[in-house]
Every structure is written in C-alpha cells, then in structure tokens.
Amino acid sequence: MTSSRQRLHLILDPEVALPGAQRFRFAQLMLILIGIGCTLVDSIPGIDHQLQMAVEMAIALVGLAFAFEYALRLWCAPDLPRLTWLNPAAARWHWALSPAGIVDLLAILPVTGALTWGMILPPDFAAVMVLLFMLKLSAHTPGARLIGRVIYNERRTLLVVMIMFGIVLIAAATLAHIAERADQPEIFGSIPKALWWAIVTLTTTGYGDVVPQTAFGRIIAGFVMISGIGVLALLAGILATGFSEEVKRRDFVRIWELVARVPLFSGIGAQAIADVVARLKARYFPPGAMVVRRGAPGDSMFFIAAGEVEVRLQPESVILSEGMFFGEMALLDRRPRSADIVTLTSCTMLVLAMPDFFQLAGQHPALAKAIEAEAARRRGDG
Amino acid sequence: MTSSRQRLHLILDPEVALPGAQRFRFAQLMLILIGIGCTLVDSIPGIDHQLQMAVEMAIALVGLAFAFEYALRLWCAPDLPRLTWLNPAAARWHWALSPAGIVDLLAILPVTGALTWGMILPPDFAAVMVLLFMLKLSAHTPGARLIGRVIYNERRTLLVVMIMFGIVLIAAATLAHIAERADQPEIFGSIPKALWWAIVTLTTTGYGDVVPQTAFGRIIAGFVMISGIGVLALLAGILATGFSEEVKRRDFVRIWELVARVPLFSGIGAQAIADVVARLKARYFPPGAMVVRRGAPGDSMFFIAAGEVEVRLQPESVILSEGMFFGEMALLDRRPRSADIVTLTSCTMLVLAMPDFFQLAGQHPALAKAIEAEAARRRGDG
Amino acid sequence: MTSSRQRLHLILDPEVALPGAQRFRFAQLMLILIGIGCTLVDSIPGIDHQLQMAVEMAIALVGLAFAFEYALRLWCAPDLPRLTWLNPAAARWHWALSPAGIVDLLAILPVTGALTWGMILPPDFAAVMVLLFMLKLSAHTPGARLIGRVIYNERRTLLVVMIMFGIVLIAAATLAHIAERADQPEIFGSIPKALWWAIVTLTTTGYGDVVPQTAFGRIIAGFVMISGIGVLALLAGILATGFSEEVKRRDFVRIWELVARVPLFSGIGAQAIADVVARLKARYFPPGAMVVRRGAPGDSMFFIAAGEVEVRLQPESVILSEGMFFGEMALLDRRPRSADIVTLTSCTMLVLAMPDFFQLAGQHPALAKAIEAEAARRRGDG
Amino acid sequence: MTSSRQRLHLILDPEVALPGAQRFRFAQLMLILIGIGCTLVDSIPGIDHQLQMAVEMAIALVGLAFAFEYALRLWCAPDLPRLTWLNPAAARWHWALSPAGIVDLLAILPVTGALTWGMILPPDFAAVMVLLFMLKLSAHTPGARLIGRVIYNERRTLLVVMIMFGIVLIAAATLAHIAERADQPEIFGSIPKALWWAIVTLTTTGYGDVVPQTAFGRIIAGFVMISGIGVLALLAGILATGFSEEVKRRDFVRIWELVARVPLFSGIGAQAIADVVARLKARYFPPGAMVVRRGAPGDSMFFIAAGEVEVRLQPESVILSEGMFFGEMALLDRRPRSADIVTLTSCTMLVLAMPDFFQLAGQHPALAKAIEAEAARRRGDG
C-alpha cells in the first residue's frame, strides 16, 4: 500500500519526468484550459441559454475532476520522502496548509459551492474562477518553479533595476507635470495623474491617450522613451543570463544521473565526467522513432540511458539496450550513416554533438580510445 | 545520366554552398519577389486595366517557371543519397508527398488553374497566391531550417514562457474586466473582450483604442506593461542563446570539412584540430577580389580551402592554391602587409584572426613552429 | 570616540553589508517612500484640507529625520579611512561640498525653509520635493553606483550607439518632413516638428498623435521602426554584457574576502583559489533558517563564512561554526540529505553548486581529497 | 614636408587615438552639430528675419570650415601608407572619388553654391543640408566603421531574420486583409494597404490609426505582436553577440600593441602573452588625474603604456615612466593603497583587475614571481 501511495505521489509531482506523470500533467493542463475556456464563454453577457447550460455543466465536471485530484493529493501526501518522519495525518495537514494545498482547495471551492447550493452563483463567478484556475496552473507548471528560482537568484539585481525604474518614473512624471500642467491641466494637473503618462511612455507602450504638447514636455518624453529602452535592455540581460544559468544547472543534475547508467563513463575520472556531463544533452524518443537514417550525414553520437533500439543491418538486425552507444562510426570515419536505427521502446538518449565529440576526444584520450575500440569491433563484425 | 541528376539535385538543395546552387537560389528568390510584387499590385481595387493585364501576365510567367522547377525537382528526386535504395518512381512519390513537395505543388496550382480555365479567377486569388508564395519562400530559405531547429531545441523553455505569458494575459484581462466593466462596459464588458486590451498592452504595442480609465485599472496596466517587458526579455535571452549555439554548431561542421583540405592541419592531434576548427571562420571571395592590400595592417592569416590566389610580388607573382596559406608574416613580424594578394578564381578561405592566432600558437607550439618555418622560408625567398 | 564615529560612518555607508547598515538603509528607504507618497498626495489639487494638514505634517517629520541624518553624516565625515590625513573640520567641509553632501542638503532645505517661515510654500513645492527626494534616493541606493560604473565602463560604445541613434533620428525627421509636409503641414511642416514623430517612432512608442499618410512617408516609417528595434537590440547587448561583467567583478572581490575565513582553502595555490572564488556564491541566512532539509536531494555544499549552524543528528546535535563546511556527503554519495541543518545566528554561507563541485574536484584533486577525508571522518562518526 | 603631410593625415584619421586627432574630431563634431542646429532653426517657417540671417551666416562659416577640411584632406591624401606607391596626384584623385571624398565634397557643395550665387537657396536647402551633414557625420564617426563591420560579419544571419520578418509581415497583411476588408474597406481594402498595419503591429509600435475590429483579425494581430517580440529578440541576440565580439577583437589588437611597451611582458611566452592581452584594459588619463588614492581599497594594478606618473610618498616622490607598473602591492598584501599616485602627463594605462590578476598569477607563475620580486624590492625601499 505504501508503495502505491509513493507511486501516485511521483505521478502527481510536477517536476518528475516519468511517462505517467507527463500524461497526468497533460490531462491536468487540458482540464484547466477547458475550464478557463468554458468560464470565459460563460462570462459573455447575453449568450445563448442552452450554450450557457452546457458550459456550466462542463465547468462543474472540471471542478469535480479537480476535487478528485485534491483528494488524491491529500491521500498520498504523507509518503513524501522528505516528510517521512511525520505521521500520515500530520503530513496531510502539512500539505493542506502549504501554498500548493491552499491553491488546489481554492480552485475547487466555487464549483463545490455552486453544486451544493444550486446554480445561483455570484455575478463575479467567472472572473474569480479564471483567477483561481490561473493560480492552480502556475502552481503546477514545471517551468513556474524554474522562473521563480531565477527571480529569487537575481532578486538583488532586479531590485536595483526596479528602484532605478521607479526613480526615472517619478522624476519623469514630476517634470512632465511641471511642463504640461498649464496646457493640459486635466491629464497633467497633478503628479499622480502624470504617473499614468510616465508608465505608458517608459514601457514604450504609447497608448496615445496622453501626449505632451509643449516643446519641453516632448524633450522629457524623448529622454523617458530612451530610458525605457535602456531599462528593458538591462532587464533583458539580467533575466536572460539568470535563466540560462538556471537551465544549465538543472540540466547538469539531470544528465549527471543518467550518465551513471552508461558503463563507458564509469571508469573515467571526476574531471572527465564533469566535462562529459556538461557536453551531453538528454533527448526523449517515442517508440518507433527513427533516430538515425541510413545515408544521412553523421553529426552526433548517442548513448542509451533508457530503452532499446534496433540497428537495421542488411543480413539481420541488432538490438542495443540501456548503457550501450551508437553513431560513433559516422563521426570517426566522416561517412554517412550506414544503417537505419529505430527505437523499440520509448527511449532516453544522451546525445553528443560532433564538435563536442572531438573536443572531448582531444581532452580525454582514454575515452576516445574506448569508443574507437568499440567502433573497430563493430567494423570487424559488419 | 545519374550524375547529371545528382548534380541538378545538389543545385536545387537550399543548404548547399556551391556557386550554381547560390545562383539558382538568387533567381528563385527574385522570381518569388516578382510574383509577390505583381500579386500585390494586382490586388489593389480599381487599378488601371492595362497595368493589371501586365502584372497578371508576369504572375503567369512566374507560375510557369515554378511549374518547370517543380518538374525538375520531381525528376531528380530519386538520387537523394539517403533514399538511394528506393526505385525512382517511389522516390518521386516520396518527394511529391513530402511537405516541401506539397508546398511546391500548391504554389503552382492557382496559376495553372487560371491558365487552363481562362483568366476568370476567384476574388481572393491575390491573397491565396501571396500566402502560397510565402509558404514556398519559407520552405526554400536556408535560414528557415536554422530557425526551425532553434525553436525545436528550445521548445520546452519556450513552452514554459508561453504558459507564463498566457497566465499573465488571462489574469490581466480578468482583473481589468473587474476594474473597468462599470466604466467602459463595451470594451471591458466580458473577459474575452478584455483579452484584446491585455494582449495589446502585454506586448507594449499600445494601439490606444482600449485604455483603462479607473485608478485600479491603470495600476493593473502598469504591472502588465512591466511584465510584458520581462516576457520580452526572457524570450530574447532564450532565442538569442539558442540561435547563437545553433549557428556555432553549423559552422563547426562546415569548417571541419574544409579543414581537411589544408595539409598543415593533417598532422596535428584531435584536441588541436578541434581548437583550430572552433577559431577559424569560412569566408567566400569572388574572382579578382583583393584579399590583402600591401601596406595595410595585418590582422589575420588565411588558409585556402578552395581556389587560387596570386601574390603580387615585385619581380614576379606567385600563385598559391588549395591547401596553402598566406598572411602569417604580417602577424609574426607585426609589420604591414608586404604584397597585394588577389583571388584568381572564386575562393573559399579559412580566416584566422590575430587574437586567435596567438592563442592557438601558445596552446599548440607544433602548429606555431610549422607556420613559422614556412614564413622563414618565404622571407629567405623574398 | 573616534571608534563610535567610525562605526556610525560604516552604518551610513550604502555599500556596507553589516546588519546595522542594512537596517539603516531600510529605514531610510521607507522614509523616502513615505516622503514621496505624502508629497504626491499633497500635490493633488483640491484634496481634503485635514488630509493635507496630515501629509504636510508627515513631510515635515521626514524632513526633520533627514536633517538629523545630515547632521550625523557631517559629524562622522572625518573618519573616512581614505581622508584620515585631513583634520576633522576640513573633512566635514569636504563632504559637505561633495555631490552626496549637496544632494543631502538640498533634500532638507525646502522642509527647513517651510518650518522656519511658516507653511507658506511655493506652488511647485511638491514637484521640487519629489525631485530632491529622488535625487537623494539615487545617491544612496547601492545599485546606483553599480549602474553608474557600468555606464562609465561602456561610455565609448554607448556614445557610438547614441550618435547612430541621433543620425537615424535626424535623417528620419528630415525625410518624413520632405514626404509629409504637403499633406500635414502642421505636424511635419519643419524638421524640428518632425523630430517629435521620429523619436516616438524610433523608440516604437507610437502614440499615434502624428502618423504619416503618404506612401513614401510610411515606407520611411517602416525603416525607422526596424532601425528602432536594431538600436534597442544593440543597447540591450551592450548594457547586459557590461552589467553582468561588473556584477561578476564585484562578487569576485566580495567572495575573495570571505574565502580567507575558510581554513580548507588556505593551503591551496593561487590558481586553485581563483577557480574556487569564481565558482562560489555568497548567500545570507537569517537565524533559525533551515539550510538543508533531511531527505531533500543534495545539490550543493556550504562553507560557513560567518555565523553558526546546528546539525540535527538523532543522538545529539552538532554545532558547526565559522570556517567549517557541510553538505558534502550528499554530493559525494549521491544520496538525499541525512539531517536537518538550521542556522543558530545570522550566517553568511559560501555555496558551491553540484556541477561546480565536480568540476573543481576534477581540476584540483588535493581539494577533493581534503573534502573526502572530512566526509569519511564524519561517516565514521555518524 | 612629407612628414608634416603624414602627421596631418594621422590627425584627420577617424580611428587614430592621438590627442591631436581626438581634438580635431571633437571640433569637427561640434561644427557638424552647430551646422545641423542652425539648419534646423533656419528651416522653421516664419522665424524672425534677423535670427535667420544669423543662422545662415553660421551655416556659411561651418561650410567654409568644411571646405578648408576638404582641402586639407585632399592635400595630405597621397601619404596614406597603403597607397604609397601611387604618385600624389593619382592618390588625391583616388581619395576624391572614394565614398569618403564624395561625401565630404557633397557636404560643402550647397554652401559653396549659396555663397557663389548669393543667398537665393532652393526651398529644400535645409533638408538637403541636414542629410549631407548626417552623411558626413556617419562617415567620420569612429563607431560607424565598427557597426558597419558588425553588420557585414553577421550579414547572412541578419538576412535570414529579415526574410523571416518579410514572410511574417506579408502573411500577416494578407490574413488581416481577408479578415477585415468587409468591415474596414478603406484601410484593409488591399494587401498593400494592410501592410502598413502589419509593420506598425509587428514592430509593436502601435500608432492606433489602424486597428482590427473582427475577432479573427484580432487573433491574427495577437500572433503578429508575439512574432514581433520574437523577431526583436532574435535581432537583439545576433547584434549583441556580433557587437561584443567585434569590440573584443578591436581591443585585442590595440592592447597587443601597447603590451609591447612593457618590458615585464617581453620575456614571457606566446600563450601567456595572449592570456595577458585578453585580460588587460586600456584606459586613458589626462595630466594631473589621481589614478590611485591613498587609503582606498586596491582592486587593480596598472602598467604604464605611455606617459609618466608621480607616486607621492612621504619623504619624497618617485616618478614612474613608460613600461613600469604600480598598484601590485595592495593586491598582493590585501591592504589599502599606501600612496596617492597622480599622472604628470597624459597617460595610457593597461589596467589589470583583481580577479584577472589572481587568475593570471595562477596560470603563469613566472609572471607572478616577477611582479612579487618588484613588490618586495619596493617594500624594502619604502
């Protein structure tokens, strides 16, 4: 029983890469999208009554599904590895009171309420539902945590840029107020009013509802627009750098775990293994996918981290399984691929692109020699 | 005969760098641009009848040219290296049913139809033609595949950003709907209506047709604009990183193949060769181009991957051909160039810039010694 | 006495990371925000008289607090380490006449004036106050110096881009003036008038108050918009690169100083220490924070640069203090964390992420051996 | 005489860093700005007659100055090092017919014409003058060549993005034309008309003069805006990368030449020298500048590439001249600066920041030892 709870918990974890978890996440995403779509349709004033009945039925079904999901999450909460020392009831309370638990509860409350007390819903039902669904979606998207970590890592630098942004914003509003209040007292009559113009201009949105008319106001506007471009540029640089670093760190950890499954890499030292991990990319293939096509140019080699592939050679096929590699011959001999290679099961491959292959081979001759030995053995066979 | 088919196939391949293929691509691009230009002129209501006749004639000619191209592509389809085991008819069917084949067929259908059944065309003829020409153009542009691969490589990260974008978009529309529906029921009366405002604001386009009026609505708008800048920044970072990585990978493979033609590099080990390849840049020169001008400062050296150059020395000229190099003396002696060097044929050079030259020389002394030996021999000569 | 002045000076320094200095900065920021908020409210025409009295009282109090801060800064000025050879009076004059001193004086002048001559303030009181507060805020924000240095470092490149921007701007205005002056003489009648359109378009703000109507004017507008995107792209690249380099340089200096407190690093050579510093990140934890949670995956190890932590082991807890490290066992054994680790005091940790740990271990085997020895000793203990 | 021509030629060269050349460029920039400013004032319809007389006089003077510059450039043309084998007359013709020569001639023609035939100028005089001044400015700005080289280096990738941009633009215009022509025949009635909307939207300018009204048109608009952000992101990535690479290459060549003047670096090998060059930054100081302030933290060391500095020690000052270095003691001992150091002449320094100092010291122990020996000798002295 514990085992089934643990398995269910893994499937419900938004960061797990198992097929079951991916299918669950896809279904959940679809349900949220259906829920949002129906709620949006429901919110249009004066829509057809029958259509309204249908979409409200759909919303209720989505709500029921989410209530079921909530129950499952509550049930399997205690088996979280990091909370194993708590008793089940305490662990369930712990989850129910965590941000994720509260968001999931909130997402089902309006529907449950509606089902219980009949279809008499508050007029803002649609807006509240959409916001709660959005909250649920951001709590369960795998990328949301990634973006959250990036913002957390760069919080100091982002704060600096935000303070700069605020300084430019308020200074611009004040100067524009001084320049324009005589000509346009209604929209530049006070600094808070001029702030609206300042943010619309500093982000280069430019609605055009508030436009400076005096020469001095326009010169200020010019500088504000250029500052806006500069702020955007700084933000772009900070977020882009932070994002790519965080993605690299996550990928390193993932590939580190997969590399352990390939015997070729087990004998090499710590420095080589770190170099190898930094250069490999994990790629997923469904069953029946053609990984390598005969006659195509060879631009990378593959290590099988999970699954099996079939090498379609003329006399008879060869099966390669977890821990084995292929595709090195086209790289070493600079020739096109000599056979089709097709996945038999769903596979996770570690791909080593040609530039990385040769740079690794140069830095770690032992590794190169092991790969060449295997290629020589295969050439003797084929 | 097979050989002429293979050659034709190479010329029609959008990724091949041969002069014939480049000339073909230029002609094709011109034809598409003429086709689009004429179709656009044709679509203007109430244009001069004679002008209309002329542009429709031009469209018909472009269509005929494309029909001829289609026939050529169909004829030379079987000799694709990777499909060599199929019989010609099957290979032609294979190409005709591939996305590229279908796009090329679609691009000629309306014109063929028009020529067959007279000039009575459907009223949307122009719009459909333009879209089909655009489709054909994107199928044959060499960069389209590159951008496609970048988007494919980064698809997970892009999906994350798109989901974030969607969450901000819908939440913004919902909050603006709550804030503004009392004041502006026509444009914020339902969440789907408010979505239009949200996307115009989140991308900082700011048409100005829909502008929040309440204080709360404007505060939401401010946060949406700043989020828009953040989303743009994230997208910029992801696409820029992915693009530059993909370009590097493609260049590595290209230069790897060219390096094999320079004997100087054949003796050095795998690590050195990977370093060399990463630092070289391929550059194309037409015949008669002055690669190096006497008296100019020396900032790079050149390896001839294809073609011949003439070194214009005072007593008599020297011809250098494929696999030889020049320009190293100005780098080693820190002096201006001592002679004009002009291409005799169209040439592909591998260029090594000064910073890379000295870094390579430091890391691989054997390579530096070989280059210096050649320079010393030439100095003795000159 | 000198010592109390020095300590106060440190607390008032915007770049110092001491807890006292951070608390002071937070209070100062709050005061400035309150001051700005109240001034903004005060500037709204026709607000309630009693509210106005209240906010003016608040502004006066903020002004008094700033006057007190000014007196403190003036008093502790001489003990600046770099000015230690001057006598106190000269040092105070030196500070009072420095940009920071003048800004601080200006920020209190209007309030002091108002308190002295009664509440009869000039009508632009609010705007001037806001600008002075903004000036004070930018003088004391730690990030302002950072951004200032980035702009200083990149000043040549930025100047180049600004000149390019100016060239495009004026050329666009001139061409649009030629194209549009016949149709729209009021807004394109002279080149200075057309400049307003050019800047609104080149920054892609697009208010929409001035729009070209002729075909030629619109073609120019299209090129101006695309140039605007290009300028933005160039600025983004320059600022982003410069910003990230400056942040790295600052972090290197900070971490360099912290590393000296960890004995493990004292024995290794200069090359290793530079590698270590480049890979470590400094992170601050408040007292009672859970740094490592039992059962969580191990993705980094920690060096204590300041403070104490408690390792909560089953039989009894262990206290680790400055210079010691923890978290290496989960990395070495690839297992989840085996204990909770909680800070007892406020701590500064140097964090080494897993990828960096293994790359360092590969490059500097002596360091890896020392860490493994400590882990072995602990395993023997536990 | 030849020598005075060569010197003048150097001063007129926009890429030369000599003080005379910099002063000349500053004067030229001021003249162009005055010329543009006056021409802009002159172009305002109905300005005061006397003001008009004054600005036209100023324009005439600027024109005369440019004519004098043209004569100088023509006179010193032959001594260009790379053209030294031509006779003076041929070299002058060569320069006069080069793009730079033609631009310089064009910039003086209108003024010369106006002075010759009296002040009866064509009505478009102002616009033409501004364009010609802009052309002259871009021909003589040092950054213009840099940006030109970046665009040349990245021309293939930029072309790809531009073709993508064109495809999205035309496809968007076509689809919007289909969606909106029934509702808004005047602005979406033909595809060329819809192109105006497409470019305003794709660059996220959003004037708001043309806005889609139908649901389908708005969905297209949403995708166009997001594509616009993507195109901007790609352009930003390409230009930013290309720009920073080109700047690095230029700096490497500059610093390479300066490094030759420092004897410390003359004994070290090719690999070390390339590492050193990559880490140094050139910085210019005017005479009398305080390079290092006593008591300030030491974060870099300095090598004198040109000029002299005075180290203000207590008993007596020490003069350091070209090829010597200072500032290493604060780095080695981790102490504040022990003396003020002031430039006596205008100086060019090579600056080595602290992180780079320690990384270099680790990689090249011989270099570190030489610097430490000098520091020890100085400590013995001081």
In one letter, which amino acid is D215? Answer: A
- Quick check: B197 pLDDT over 90? yes
**Domain co-membership, C51 together with C162:** no
Mean pLDDT value of segment D164-187? 89
d(CA B163, CA B151): 16
Mean pLDDT of C316-340: 84
User: 3-state DSSP call for residue D247?
Assistant: helix
What's the pLDDT score for residue A200? 92
d(CA D111, CA D125): 9
Chains C–D, number of C-beta pairs less than 8 Å apart: 163
Same domain, D377 and D284: yes
CA distance B352 to B367: 13
For all residues of chain B together, what is the average pLDDT?
A: 81
The alpha-carbon radius of gyration of chain B (Å, integer) is: 29
The residue ranking higher by pLDDT, A153 or C51, is C51
Beta strands D290-292 and A308-312 are unpaired
Helix/strand/coil (H/E/C) assignment for every residue in C200-257: HHHCCCCCCCCCCCCHHHHHHHHHHHHHHHHHHHHHHHHHHHHHHHHHHHHHHHHHHH
CATH code, domain with B241: 1.10.287.70
Partners of residue B158 in chain A, C-beta under 8 Å: none
Of A246, A263, A294, which one is at a domain's C-terminal end? A246
Bridge-based pairing of strands B325-326 and C281-285 is unpaired
3-state SS, residue B221: helix
Q: Let me know: does D313 contact D339? Beta carbons within 8 Å.
A: yes
Q: What is the pLDDT of residue A81?
A: 46
For residue range A296-344, list pLDDT tens digits in order. 777 788 999 888 999 988 778 889 988 888 888 888 877 778 888 999 9
Instruction: Look at residue A284 in the predicted model and tell me its pLDDT.
Output: 78
Residue D206 lies in a domain: yes
Read off the pLDDT of residues C48-72 as tens digits, 9 standing for 90 and up. 888 888 888 888 888 888 889 898 8
By the 8 A CB rule, do D308 and D344 touch?
Answer: yes
Q: DSSP characters for A184-203?
A: -HHHHSSHHHHHHHHHHHHT
Residue A293 contacts residue B82 (beta carbons within 8 Å): yes
- Say whether D170 and B36 touch across the interface (CB within 8 A): yes
Q: Which residue of A has its CA nearest to D209?
A: A208
What is the average per-residue pLDDT within C189-202? 89
Check if the beta carbon of residue A137 is closer than 8 Å to that of residue A28.
Answer: no
C302 - beta bridge partners?
Answer: C326, C351
Q: Provide the shortest C-alpha distance from residue D323 to chain B (in Å).
A: 19
Contact between A336 and B81 using a beta-carbon 8 Å cutoff: yes
pLDDT above 90 for C381: no
CB atoms within 10 A of CB D93: 14
pLDDT value, residue C176? 92
Residues A207 and A127: their CA atoms lie apart, in Å, by 25
Distances (CA, A) of B50 to B55, B116, D129: 9, 21, 41
Question: Is the Cα torsion angle B84, B87, B93, B94 positive or negative in sign?
Answer: negative
Is pLDDT at B78 greater than 80 in this prediction?
no
Kindly tell me if the per-residue pLDDT of B243 is higher than 70. yes
Most confident of A88-102, B220-234, C111-125, C368-382: B220-234
* A37-41, B2-6, D82-86: range with lowest mean pLDDT: D82-86
pLDDT of amino acid A309: 92
Q: Which amino acid is at D315?
A: P
Which chains are within 8 Å of D by 3+ CB pairs?
Answer: A, B, C
Per-residue model confidence as pLDDT tens digits over C246-294:
877 778 877 887 887 888 887 776 667 778 888 888 887 878 888 888 7
Alpha helices in chain C (DSSP H): 2-12, 19-43, 49-75, 88-96, 99-116, 125-140, 142-153, 155-180, 185-188, 191-202, 215-259, 270-279, 328-333, 354-363, 365-381
Q: What is the pLDDT of residue D309?
A: 92
Lowest-confidence range among B10-14, C148-152, C287-291, D358-362? B10-14
Query: For the segment C95-117, what is each residue's pLDDT rounded down to a tens digit?
Result: 888 888 888 888 888 777 766 65
- Checking if the pLDDT of B72 tops 80, the result is yes
Question: CATH number for the domain including C108?
Answer: 1.20.120.540
Q: Which of D199, D207, D359 is the closest to C222 by Cβ?
A: D199
- pLDDT above 50 (res A16): yes
d(CA C174, CA C191): 6
Query: Which residues face C348 on adjacent strands?
Result: C284, C306
DSSP state of C17: -
Give the list of residues 6+ apart from residue D15 with CB closer than 8 angstroms, or none: D142, D145
Nearest to A219 by CA among A231, A209, A227: A227
Last residue within a domain, chosen from D82, D107, D140 = D140
A9 touches A76 (CB < 8 A): yes
Residue D261 lies inside a defined structural domain of this protein: no
β-partners of residue B349 are B283, B304
Alpha-carbon distance values, D355 to A49, C152, C271, C348, D337 (Å): 71, 20, 11, 21, 17
Which of C140, C175, C198 terminates a domain? The answer is: C140
How far is it, in rounded angstroms, from Cα B68 to Cα B260?
38
- Residues D29, D124: one domain? yes
Single-letter code of the amino acid located at B191: I
Largest CA distance in chain D: 91
State residue C382's pLDDT score. 44
Q: Is residue D148 part of a domain?
A: no
- Please give, rounded to a whole number of angstroms, the shortest distance from the CA of B98 to a CA of chain A: 16
Looking at the fold, whether D213 and D94 belong to one and the same domain comes out as no
Q: What does the CA dihedral C217, C220, C225, C228 come to, rounded to 10 degrees?
A: -130
| Residue B221 shares a structural domain with residue B126 | no
Q: What is the mean pLDDT of residues C199-218?
A: 90
Distance (Å) from the C-alpha of residue C297 to the closest C-alpha of chain A?
9
Q: Is residue C261 part of a domain?
A: no
- Is C166 in CB contact (< 8 Å) with chain A? no
- Which amino acid is located at B354 in the chain? M
Q: Which range marks the domain in which residue B103 is found? A: 2-140
**Residue A147 domain-assigned (yes or no):** no
pLDDT score, position C114: 67
Q: Give the closest-approach CA distance of D113 to chain A in angstroms.
A: 34
Q: Could you give the residue ranges of the DSSP H alpha helices within chain B?
A: 2-12, 19-43, 49-75, 88-97, 99-116, 125-140, 142-153, 155-180, 185-188, 191-202, 215-259, 270-279, 328-333, 354-363, 365-381
pLDDT of residue B382: 44
Most confident of B259-263, D119-123, D289-293: D289-293
Structural tokens at position C99:
């940009």
- A300 CB within 8 Å of a chain C CB: no
For D271, which of B41, B296, B363 is closest by C-beta distance? B363
Do residues B164 and B293 share a domain? no
Please choose, from the candidates D242, D197, D238, the residue with its C-alpha nearest in 3D space to the C-alpha of residue D217.
Answer: D197
Q: pLDDT band at B82, cuts 50/70/90? A: very low
Classified as helix, coil or strand, A351 is strand
CB contact at 8 A, C165 and A233? no
CB-CB contact of D295 with D336 (8 Å): yes
Percent of chain C topping pLDDT 90: 9
D183-231 pLDDT, tens per residue? Answer: 998 888 888 889 999 999 998 888 988 899 998 999 999 999 888 888 8
Are residue C160 and residue C134 in the same domain, yes or no?
A: no
**What angle is formed at CA B270 by the lines to CA B269 and CA B275, rounded to 5 degrees?**
100
Among B3-7, D254-258, D290-294, the least confident range: B3-7
CA-closest candidate to residue D352, choices D335, D332, D366: D332
Which residues have C-beta within 8 Å of that of residue B234, sequence separation ≥ 6? A147, A239, A240, A243, B161, B164
Query: What tokens were used for D18?
Result: 């000599």
In D, which residues are within 8 Å of C192 by CB distance?
40-41, 43-44
> Is A66 part of any domain?
yes
Residues 55 through 114 of chain C touching chain A, CB cutoff 8 Å: none
pTM above 0.95, yes or no: no
Domain assignment present for residue B116? The answer is yes
| Model confidence pLDDT, tens digit, residues B256-267 | 778 877 888 877
Report the residue from A207, A208, A236 with minimal CB separation from D236. A236
Query: For residue B145, is it within any domain?
Result: no
Helix B49-75 and helix B19-43: axis angle, to 10°?
150
Residue C94, pLDDT score: 77
If you average pLDDT over residues A218-241, what whole number do you get? Answer: 83
Q: How confident is the model at residue D172 (pLDDT cuts 50, 70, 90)?
A: very high
C86 pLDDT more than 60: no
Q: Write down the pLDDT at residue C81.
A: 46
Take residue C10 and report the two structure tokens written for it: 């440190």
At residue B270, does pLDDT exceed 70?
A: no
Report how far residue C120's alpha carbon sits from residue C131's, in angstroms, rounded to the nearest whole number: 20
How does DSSP assign A279-292, residue by residue? Answer: H-EEEEE-TT-EEE
With beta carbons less than 8 A apart as the criterion, state whether D179 and D214 touch.
yes
Query: B331 in contact with A at a CB cutoff of 8 Å?
Result: no
C241 and C285 both lie in a single domain: no
A177 and A79 both lie in a single domain: no
Asked whether the predicted pLDDT for residue B90 surpasses 90, the reply is no
Domain identity same for C123 and C173: no
Cα–Cα distance measured from residue A371 to residue B329, given in angstroms and rounded to the nearest whole number? 40
Taken in order A4, A9, A12, A18, the sign of the CA dihedral is: negative
Closest CA to A74 of A113, A112, A100: A100
With H, G, I as helix, E, B as strand and everything else as coil, classify residue A335: coil
Enter the tokens of residue D82: 């790379």
CA separation for the pair C287, A206 (Å, rounded): 47
Q: Which two tokens stand for residue D181?
A: 């022509």
* Res. D249 pLDDT band, cuts 50 70 90: confident
Length of chain D: 382
- The SS3 of residue C321 is strand
Q: Is B32 left (phi over 0), alpha (psi -120 to 50) or beta?
A: alpha
Q: What is the dihedral of CA C82, C85, C88, C93, to 10 degrees?
A: -70
Residue B246 corresponds to which tokens in the numbers above? 């993909």
Q: Find the residue in D nearest to B29 (Cα).
A: D163
Interface residue A209 vs chain D (CB under 8 A):
no
How far does A36 lie from chain B, in Å, by closest CA? 9
Q: What is the tally of structural domains in chain A?
A: 3
User: Do residues D6 and D122 both lie within one domain?
Assistant: yes
- Minimum mean pLDDT range among B272-286, C336-350, D256-270: D256-270
Complex ipTM, two decimals?
A: 0.78
Does B118 lie in the same domain as B83?
Answer: yes
Task: Identify which has the larger pLDDT, D61 or D125.
Answer: D61
Residue B243, CB-side half-sphere exposure with 13 Å CA sphere: 27
Q: Is A307 in contact with A348 (CB distance < 8 Å)?
A: yes
Report which secondary-structure segment, H or E, holds D269. none
Which of A108-117, A154-163, B141-150, C197-206 bottoms out in mean pLDDT, i.e. has the lowest?
Answer: A108-117
- pLDDT score recorded for residue D296: 75
pLDDT mean over B265-272: 72
Highest-pLDDT range among A167-176, C130-139, C311-320: A167-176
Residues of B in contact with C204 (CB under 8 A): 204
Neighbours of C, requiring at least 3 CB pairs below 8 Å, are: A, B, D
